[in-house]
Amino acid sequence: MWFRPVIIDNGSGRIKAGFASDERPRFICPNVVGEVKHKKFFSFSESQQCYVGNDALAHRAILKLSYPIKHGVISDWNGMEKVWSSVITGLGVSLKHHPVLLTEAPLNPKAKREEVCERFFEGFDCPAFYIGIQAVMSLYSTGKITGVVVESGQGVSCSVPIYQGYAIWHAIKRLNLAGHELTEYLSKLLRERFEAHDLSRFVDSHVKRLLLQIICRHGSLGNLEAVSTGFVALDYEEALNKAAMSDELHVSYEMPDGQIVLIGSERFRCLEALFRPSLLGLEDVGIHWMVYNSIMKSDLDIRKDLYANIVLSGGTTMHEGFQERLQAEVVALAPRTVKVRVIAKPERDCLAFFGAAVMATICGQTTWISAKEYHTYGKAIVGRKCF
Protein backbone atom coordinates (compact mmCIF):
# COMPACT_ATOMS: atom_id res chain seq x y z
CA MET A 1 0.00 0.00 0.00
CA TRP A 2 1.28 3.46 -0.94
CA PHE A 3 0.97 6.46 1.34
CA ARG A 4 0.84 10.06 0.12
CA PRO A 5 3.60 10.82 -2.40
CA VAL A 6 6.53 12.95 -1.24
CA ILE A 7 7.41 15.96 -3.41
CA ILE A 8 11.04 17.13 -3.64
CA ASP A 9 11.64 20.21 -5.78
CA ASN A 10 15.37 19.72 -6.24
CA GLY A 11 16.66 23.24 -6.89
CA SER A 12 20.29 24.32 -7.17
CA GLY A 13 19.87 26.89 -4.41
CA ARG A 14 17.01 25.60 -2.29
CA ILE A 15 15.08 22.38 -1.90
CA LYS A 16 11.34 22.60 -1.28
CA ALA A 17 9.63 19.47 -0.02
CA GLY A 18 6.22 18.32 1.12
CA PHE A 19 3.43 15.97 0.15
CA ALA A 20 1.00 15.62 -2.74
CA SER A 21 -1.90 18.11 -2.46
CA ASP A 22 0.04 20.37 -0.05
CA GLU A 23 -0.69 24.03 -0.67
CA ARG A 24 2.78 25.10 0.48
CA PRO A 25 6.12 23.32 0.90
CA ARG A 26 6.43 21.90 4.41
CA PHE A 27 10.20 21.92 4.45
CA ILE A 28 12.57 24.35 2.72
CA CYS A 29 16.32 24.26 3.10
CA PRO A 30 19.37 25.62 1.27
CA ASN A 31 20.93 22.95 -0.94
CA VAL A 32 24.34 23.16 0.72
CA VAL A 33 26.66 20.84 2.64
CA GLY A 34 29.41 21.90 5.03
CA GLU A 35 32.42 19.83 6.10
CA VAL A 36 34.55 20.87 9.10
CA LYS A 37 37.70 22.58 7.77
CA HIS A 38 40.25 21.63 10.43
CA LYS A 39 39.05 18.46 12.10
CA LYS A 40 42.25 17.91 14.07
CA PHE A 41 41.71 21.14 16.01
CA PHE A 42 38.16 20.26 17.07
CA SER A 43 36.76 17.35 19.04
CA PHE A 44 33.72 16.71 16.88
CA SER A 45 31.83 13.44 16.78
CA GLU A 46 31.47 11.92 13.32
CA SER A 47 27.91 13.24 13.04
CA GLN A 48 29.12 16.77 13.83
CA GLN A 49 31.70 16.83 11.05
CA CYS A 50 29.08 17.43 8.36
CA TYR A 51 26.27 19.98 8.38
CA VAL A 52 23.44 20.39 5.91
CA GLY A 53 21.19 23.27 4.87
CA ASN A 54 20.56 26.01 7.41
CA ASP A 55 22.81 24.25 9.93
CA ALA A 56 25.68 24.47 7.45
CA LEU A 57 25.12 28.19 6.92
CA ALA A 58 24.88 28.78 10.67
CA HIS A 59 28.30 27.12 11.21
CA ARG A 60 29.92 28.43 8.05
CA ALA A 61 32.86 29.99 9.92
CA ILE A 62 34.31 26.54 10.65
CA LEU A 63 33.06 24.78 7.52
CA LYS A 64 33.99 24.35 3.91
CA LEU A 65 30.72 24.79 2.06
CA SER A 66 29.85 22.97 -1.15
CA TYR A 67 26.76 22.91 -3.32
CA PRO A 68 25.76 19.47 -4.69
CA ILE A 69 24.03 20.91 -7.78
CA LYS A 70 25.84 23.12 -10.27
CA HIS A 71 23.92 24.68 -13.15
CA GLY A 72 20.98 22.34 -12.53
CA VAL A 73 23.07 19.15 -12.68
CA ILE A 74 24.06 17.06 -9.64
CA SER A 75 27.85 17.08 -9.34
CA ASP A 76 28.31 15.78 -5.77
CA TRP A 77 26.27 12.63 -5.18
CA ASN A 78 27.37 12.04 -1.59
CA GLY A 79 26.50 15.61 -0.67
CA MET A 80 23.19 15.37 -2.50
CA GLU A 81 22.23 12.22 -0.60
CA LYS A 82 23.02 13.96 2.69
CA VAL A 83 20.71 16.83 1.75
CA TRP A 84 17.95 14.42 0.68
CA SER A 85 18.30 12.53 3.97
CA SER A 86 18.00 15.79 5.88
CA VAL A 87 14.89 16.74 3.89
CA ILE A 88 13.25 13.38 4.51
CA THR A 89 14.04 13.65 8.22
CA GLY A 90 12.56 17.14 8.18
CA LEU A 91 9.34 15.74 6.73
CA GLY A 92 9.24 13.15 9.51
CA VAL A 93 8.71 10.12 7.29
CA SER A 94 10.37 7.00 5.99
CA LEU A 95 10.15 6.59 2.23
CA LYS A 96 9.42 2.86 2.46
CA HIS A 97 5.72 3.45 1.77
CA HIS A 98 5.88 6.88 0.08
CA PRO A 99 6.33 7.32 -3.68
CA VAL A 100 8.71 10.18 -4.51
CA LEU A 101 8.26 12.80 -7.23
CA LEU A 102 11.51 14.70 -7.70
CA THR A 103 11.90 17.68 -10.02
CA GLU A 104 14.90 18.52 -12.19
CA ALA A 105 16.07 21.14 -14.68
CA PRO A 106 15.48 20.33 -18.37
CA LEU A 107 18.03 18.65 -20.64
CA ASN A 108 19.84 16.86 -17.84
CA PRO A 109 22.15 14.05 -19.02
CA LYS A 110 20.62 10.59 -19.26
CA ALA A 111 23.22 9.10 -16.91
CA LYS A 112 22.40 11.65 -14.19
CA ARG A 113 18.66 10.91 -14.39
CA GLU A 114 19.29 7.19 -14.19
CA GLU A 115 21.52 7.56 -11.16
CA VAL A 116 18.89 9.62 -9.34
CA CYS A 117 16.39 6.84 -9.98
CA GLU A 118 18.83 4.20 -8.78
CA ARG A 119 19.67 6.04 -5.56
CA PHE A 120 16.04 6.48 -4.54
CA PHE A 121 15.19 2.83 -5.11
CA GLU A 122 18.41 1.37 -3.74
CA GLY A 123 19.29 3.93 -1.08
CA PHE A 124 15.89 5.09 0.18
CA ASP A 125 13.83 1.99 -0.67
CA CYS A 126 10.88 3.98 -2.02
CA PRO A 127 7.98 2.00 -3.58
CA ALA A 128 7.68 4.24 -6.65
CA PHE A 129 9.50 7.13 -8.26
CA TYR A 130 9.07 9.81 -10.91
CA ILE A 131 11.25 12.63 -12.23
CA GLY A 132 9.36 15.71 -13.39
CA ILE A 133 10.76 18.58 -15.43
CA GLN A 134 10.54 21.71 -13.29
CA ALA A 135 9.22 23.87 -16.12
CA VAL A 136 6.44 21.39 -16.94
CA MET A 137 5.48 21.20 -13.28
CA SER A 138 5.43 25.01 -13.12
CA LEU A 139 3.03 25.20 -16.05
CA TYR A 140 0.74 22.59 -14.46
CA SER A 141 0.47 24.79 -11.37
CA THR A 142 -1.14 27.55 -13.45
CA GLY A 143 -3.82 25.19 -14.77
CA LYS A 144 -2.38 25.30 -18.29
CA ILE A 145 -0.88 22.56 -20.45
CA THR A 146 0.43 24.71 -23.32
CA GLY A 147 2.79 27.64 -22.97
CA VAL A 148 6.41 28.71 -22.56
CA VAL A 149 7.93 28.56 -19.10
CA VAL A 150 10.77 30.99 -18.47
CA GLU A 151 12.58 29.59 -15.49
CA SER A 152 15.49 31.14 -13.63
CA GLY A 153 16.62 30.08 -10.19
CA GLN A 154 20.03 29.80 -8.58
CA GLY A 155 21.88 27.60 -11.06
CA VAL A 156 20.32 27.76 -14.51
CA SER A 157 17.93 29.80 -16.67
CA CYS A 158 15.89 28.19 -19.42
CA SER A 159 13.04 28.67 -21.85
CA VAL A 160 10.84 25.59 -22.20
CA PRO A 161 7.99 25.48 -24.73
CA ILE A 162 5.32 22.97 -23.73
CA TYR A 163 2.42 21.60 -25.78
CA GLN A 164 -0.40 19.56 -24.28
CA GLY A 165 1.67 18.89 -21.18
CA TYR A 166 4.84 17.73 -22.94
CA ALA A 167 8.06 19.69 -23.35
CA ILE A 168 9.13 20.33 -26.94
CA TRP A 169 12.66 19.06 -26.42
CA HIS A 170 14.34 20.35 -29.56
CA ALA A 171 13.11 23.89 -28.82
CA ILE A 172 14.34 24.15 -25.22
CA LYS A 173 16.95 26.85 -24.63
CA ARG A 174 19.19 26.72 -21.58
CA LEU A 175 21.63 29.28 -20.14
CA ASN A 176 24.11 28.68 -17.31
CA LEU A 177 23.51 32.16 -15.93
CA ALA A 178 21.21 32.58 -12.96
CA GLY A 179 21.23 33.63 -9.32
CA HIS A 180 24.73 32.37 -8.56
CA GLU A 181 26.34 34.25 -11.44
CA LEU A 182 24.34 37.39 -10.63
CA THR A 183 25.56 37.15 -7.04
CA GLU A 184 29.17 36.97 -8.19
CA TYR A 185 28.65 39.88 -10.59
CA LEU A 186 27.08 42.01 -7.88
CA SER A 187 29.97 41.20 -5.57
CA LYS A 188 32.35 42.41 -8.28
CA LEU A 189 30.40 45.64 -8.75
CA LEU A 190 30.36 46.27 -5.01
CA ARG A 191 34.09 45.68 -4.74
CA GLU A 192 34.68 48.27 -7.44
CA ARG A 193 32.52 50.82 -5.64
CA PHE A 194 33.80 50.10 -2.13
CA GLU A 195 37.46 50.17 -3.11
CA ALA A 196 37.34 53.93 -3.50
CA HIS A 197 35.89 54.27 0.01
CA ASP A 198 38.20 51.74 1.66
CA LEU A 199 35.15 49.58 2.32
CA SER A 200 36.21 46.53 0.33
CA ARG A 201 37.15 44.75 3.54
CA PHE A 202 33.44 44.44 4.38
CA VAL A 203 32.31 42.85 1.13
CA ASP A 204 33.27 39.25 1.81
CA SER A 205 31.81 38.97 5.29
CA HIS A 206 28.69 41.01 4.66
CA VAL A 207 27.95 40.47 1.00
CA LYS A 208 25.01 38.22 1.86
CA ARG A 209 23.35 41.02 3.80
CA LEU A 210 23.90 43.33 0.86
CA LEU A 211 22.44 40.75 -1.50
CA LEU A 212 19.35 40.38 0.65
CA GLN A 213 18.70 44.10 0.46
CA ILE A 214 19.81 44.73 -3.10
CA ILE A 215 18.80 41.60 -5.01
CA CYS A 216 16.21 39.51 -3.18
CA ARG A 217 12.58 40.04 -4.03
CA HIS A 218 10.88 37.64 -1.64
CA GLY A 219 13.90 35.69 -0.48
CA SER A 220 14.33 34.66 3.11
CA LEU A 221 17.06 33.45 5.41
CA GLY A 222 15.49 31.78 8.39
CA ASN A 223 12.78 34.15 9.54
CA LEU A 224 14.45 37.22 8.03
CA GLU A 225 12.39 38.51 5.14
CA ALA A 226 14.31 40.47 2.57
CA VAL A 227 13.13 43.79 1.24
CA SER A 228 13.75 44.37 -2.43
CA THR A 229 15.68 47.42 -3.51
CA GLY A 230 17.11 45.86 -6.67
CA PHE A 231 15.22 45.96 -9.95
CA VAL A 232 15.34 45.20 -13.65
CA ALA A 233 15.46 48.42 -15.66
CA LEU A 234 12.84 48.75 -18.39
CA ASP A 235 15.29 50.95 -20.32
CA TYR A 236 18.86 50.14 -19.28
CA GLU A 237 20.57 53.09 -20.96
CA GLU A 238 18.07 55.55 -19.51
CA ALA A 239 18.54 54.08 -16.04
CA LEU A 240 22.33 54.38 -16.37
CA ASN A 241 22.02 58.04 -17.33
CA LYS A 242 19.61 58.74 -14.49
CA ALA A 243 21.91 57.06 -11.97
CA ALA A 244 24.87 59.09 -13.25
CA MET A 245 23.05 62.44 -13.29
CA SER A 246 21.18 62.25 -9.98
CA ASP A 247 20.79 60.26 -6.79
CA GLU A 248 17.15 59.42 -7.52
CA LEU A 249 17.93 55.70 -7.92
CA HIS A 250 20.34 55.52 -5.00
CA VAL A 251 19.59 53.70 -1.76
CA SER A 252 21.58 53.96 1.45
CA TYR A 253 23.14 51.07 3.30
CA GLU A 254 24.75 51.12 6.72
CA MET A 255 28.06 49.28 6.86
CA PRO A 256 29.14 47.32 9.97
CA ASP A 257 31.32 50.21 11.15
CA GLY A 258 28.41 52.65 10.97
CA GLN A 259 29.37 54.31 7.68
CA ILE A 260 26.49 55.06 5.35
CA VAL A 261 27.15 54.33 1.68
CA LEU A 262 24.99 55.00 -1.35
CA ILE A 263 24.39 52.19 -3.82
CA GLY A 264 23.09 53.28 -7.20
CA SER A 265 23.49 51.66 -10.60
CA GLU A 266 24.55 48.34 -9.02
CA ARG A 267 20.88 47.86 -8.17
CA PHE A 268 20.00 47.18 -11.79
CA ARG A 269 23.35 46.58 -13.50
CA CYS A 270 23.78 43.09 -12.04
CA LEU A 271 20.29 41.98 -13.15
CA GLU A 272 20.83 43.40 -16.64
CA ALA A 273 23.16 40.46 -17.28
CA LEU A 274 20.09 38.25 -17.76
CA PHE A 275 19.26 40.29 -20.85
CA ARG A 276 22.88 41.05 -21.77
CA PRO A 277 25.10 38.08 -20.89
CA SER A 278 27.94 39.93 -22.62
CA LEU A 279 28.27 41.96 -19.40
CA LEU A 280 29.70 38.77 -17.89
CA GLY A 281 31.85 38.04 -20.91
CA LEU A 282 29.43 35.42 -22.27
CA GLU A 283 28.51 35.06 -25.92
CA ASP A 284 25.03 33.68 -25.17
CA VAL A 285 21.89 35.57 -26.12
CA GLY A 286 19.71 37.21 -23.48
CA ILE A 287 16.76 35.56 -21.84
CA HIS A 288 14.28 37.37 -24.13
CA TRP A 289 16.01 35.96 -27.20
CA MET A 290 15.85 32.51 -25.60
CA VAL A 291 12.06 32.82 -25.37
CA TYR A 292 11.78 34.02 -28.95
CA ASN A 293 14.06 31.28 -30.28
CA SER A 294 12.14 28.60 -28.37
CA ILE A 295 8.86 29.74 -29.88
CA MET A 296 10.28 30.01 -33.39
CA LYS A 297 11.62 26.45 -33.16
CA SER A 298 8.13 25.21 -32.27
CA ASP A 299 5.46 24.33 -34.83
CA LEU A 300 3.90 27.30 -36.57
CA ASP A 301 0.39 26.22 -35.54
CA ILE A 302 1.07 26.59 -31.81
CA ARG A 303 3.21 29.74 -31.75
CA LYS A 304 0.23 32.00 -31.12
CA ASP A 305 -0.66 30.03 -27.98
CA LEU A 306 2.95 30.04 -26.82
CA TYR A 307 3.28 33.82 -27.16
CA ALA A 308 0.05 34.27 -25.18
CA ASN A 309 1.16 32.04 -22.30
CA ILE A 310 4.71 32.91 -21.22
CA VAL A 311 4.92 31.83 -17.57
CA LEU A 312 7.66 33.00 -15.21
CA SER A 313 9.05 30.58 -12.64
CA GLY A 314 11.91 30.59 -10.15
CA GLY A 315 13.29 33.01 -7.58
CA THR A 316 15.39 35.04 -10.01
CA THR A 317 12.22 36.05 -11.91
CA MET A 318 10.84 37.65 -8.74
CA HIS A 319 12.79 40.88 -9.15
CA GLU A 320 10.84 44.08 -9.63
CA GLY A 321 10.54 44.98 -13.30
CA PHE A 322 11.47 41.53 -14.67
CA GLN A 323 7.97 40.81 -15.99
CA GLU A 324 7.60 44.23 -17.63
CA ARG A 325 11.06 44.12 -19.23
CA LEU A 326 10.57 40.62 -20.64
CA GLN A 327 7.14 41.59 -21.95
CA ALA A 328 8.57 44.63 -23.75
CA GLU A 329 11.52 42.72 -25.20
CA VAL A 330 9.43 39.82 -26.53
CA VAL A 331 6.85 42.22 -28.00
CA ALA A 332 9.69 43.91 -29.89
CA LEU A 333 10.80 40.56 -31.34
CA ALA A 334 7.42 38.96 -32.03
CA PRO A 335 5.24 39.51 -35.11
CA ARG A 336 2.95 42.50 -34.67
CA THR A 337 -0.15 40.39 -35.21
CA VAL A 338 0.32 38.17 -32.15
CA LYS A 339 -0.62 38.87 -28.56
CA VAL A 340 2.25 38.55 -26.09
CA ARG A 341 1.42 37.91 -22.45
CA VAL A 342 3.98 37.30 -19.71
CA ILE A 343 2.35 35.73 -16.65
CA ALA A 344 3.97 36.39 -13.28
CA LYS A 345 2.31 34.59 -10.37
CA PRO A 346 3.11 36.10 -6.95
CA GLU A 347 4.29 32.70 -5.69
CA ARG A 348 6.37 31.86 -8.75
CA ASP A 349 9.41 30.91 -6.69
CA CYS A 350 7.44 27.78 -5.68
CA LEU A 351 5.55 27.03 -8.91
CA ALA A 352 7.44 23.80 -9.65
CA PHE A 353 6.57 22.44 -6.20
CA PHE A 354 2.90 23.40 -6.57
CA GLY A 355 2.64 21.74 -9.97
CA ALA A 356 4.40 18.59 -8.80
CA ALA A 357 2.05 18.36 -5.81
CA VAL A 358 -0.94 18.59 -8.16
CA MET A 359 0.45 16.02 -10.61
CA ALA A 360 1.25 13.52 -7.85
CA THR A 361 -2.34 13.85 -6.62
CA ILE A 362 -4.13 13.25 -9.92
CA CYS A 363 -1.85 10.86 -11.82
CA GLY A 364 -2.55 7.13 -11.80
CA GLN A 365 -0.20 4.44 -10.53
CA THR A 366 0.86 3.55 -14.07
CA THR A 367 2.54 6.96 -14.38
CA TRP A 368 5.05 6.07 -11.69
CA ILE A 369 8.08 3.84 -11.99
CA SER A 370 7.23 1.09 -9.53
CA ALA A 371 9.86 -0.78 -7.56
CA LYS A 372 8.88 -3.92 -9.49
CA GLU A 373 9.48 -2.16 -12.83
CA TYR A 374 12.81 -0.83 -11.61
CA HIS A 375 14.03 -4.26 -10.51
CA THR A 376 12.77 -5.80 -13.75
CA TYR A 377 14.10 -3.28 -16.28
CA GLY A 378 16.79 -1.46 -14.33
CA LYS A 379 17.46 2.26 -14.06
CA ALA A 380 17.08 2.76 -17.83
CA ILE A 381 13.32 2.65 -17.24
CA VAL A 382 13.49 6.34 -16.28
CA GLY A 383 14.01 7.28 -19.94
CA ARG A 384 10.85 5.43 -20.96
CA LYS A 385 8.50 6.76 -18.30
CA CYS A 386 9.79 10.21 -17.31
CA PHE A 387 9.79 12.62 -20.25
Q: Do 100 and 10 share a structural domain? A: yes
Last residue of a domain, one of 214, 249, 272: 272
Residues 192 and 243 in one domain: yes
The span from the CA of 362 to the CA of 369, in Å, is 16
- pLDDT at site 367: 94
Assign 335 a pLDDT band (cuts: 50, 70, 90): very high
pLDDT score for 206:
46
Tell whether 147 is covered by a domain: no
* 169 and 294 inside one domain: yes
Q: Does 80 reside within a domain?
A: yes
Q: Are residues 291 and 191 in the same domain?
A: no
43-84 pLDDT tens trace: 555 556 789 999 998 888 888 999 999 999 999 999 999 999
**Are 13 and 116 in the same domain?**
yes
- Which pLDDT band, with edges at 50, 70 and 90, does 212 fall under? very low
| Co-location of 195 and 342 in the same domain | no
* Average pLDDT, integer, range 277-302: 98
Residue 39 placed within a domain: yes
Q: Is 92 helix (H, G, I), strand (E, B) or coil?
A: coil
pLDDT of residue 91: 96
Q: Does residue 83 form part of some domain?
A: yes
18 and 111 assigned to the same domain: yes
Give residues with Cβ within 8 angstroms of 81, minimum separation 6.
Answer: 119, 123
Specify the length of the chain in residues.
387
Question: What is the tens place of the pLDDT at every residue in 216-255?
Answer: 443 333 333 333 457 899 999 999 998 888 888 787 777 6
Specify the pTM: 0.90
- Grade residue 191 by pLDDT with cuts at 50, 70 and 90: confident
Residue 331 is assigned to a structural domain of this protein: yes
Query: Can you give the three-state secondary structure of 277-334, one letter per residue?
Result: HHHHCCCCCCHHHHHHHHHHCCCHHHHHHHHHCEEEECHHHHCECHHHHHHHHHHHHC
Indicate whether 130 and 105 sit together in one domain. yes
String of b and e for 54-83 (b: at least 16 CB within 10 Å)?
ebbbeeeeebeeebbbbbbbbeeeebbbbb
Specify the long-range contacts of residues 58-61, CB closer than 8 Å, at least 24 apart: 59/34, 60/34
Domain, as residue range, for 322: 157-177+283-348
CATH number of domain containing 162:
3.30.420.40
Question: What pLDDT does 256 receive?
Answer: 62
For the chain, the domain total comes to 4
Q: Is the model's pLDDT at 262 over the cut of 80? A: no
State how far the Cα of 49 lies from the Cα of 71, in Å rounded to an integer: 27
Among the three residues 248, 272, 296, which one is the final residue of a domain in this structure?
272
Domain endpoint, select from 223, 252, 272: 272
Amino acid identity for residue 140 in this structure: Y
**Residue, of 59 and 111, whose pLDDT is higher:** 111
What's the mean pLDDT when you consider all of the chain?
88
Per-residue pLDDT at 299 exceeds 80: yes
Distance (Å) of CA 371 to CA 18, 99, 179, 188, 378 = 21, 10, 36, 49, 10
Q: Tell me, yes or no, whether 22 and 122 share the same domain.
A: yes
**Phi, psi dihedrals of residue 251, rounded to the nearest 5°:** -125, 150
Instruction: Give the model's pLDDT for residue 48.
Output: 65
- For residue 86, the model assigns a pLDDT of 96
From the list 104, 106, 88, the residue with the least C-alpha distance to 96 is: 88
Q: Is residue 378 domain-shared with residue 324, that is, in the same domain?
A: no
Question: CA-to-CA distance for 77 and 246, rounded, in angstroms?
Answer: 50
Domain match, 21 and 130 both = yes
Q: What is the pLDDT of residue 267?
A: 85
d(CA 269, CA 117): 40
Residue 77 lies in a domain: yes
β-partners of residue 30 are: 14
Q: Is the pLDDT of residue 2 over 50?
A: yes
Residues 330 and 367 in one domain: no
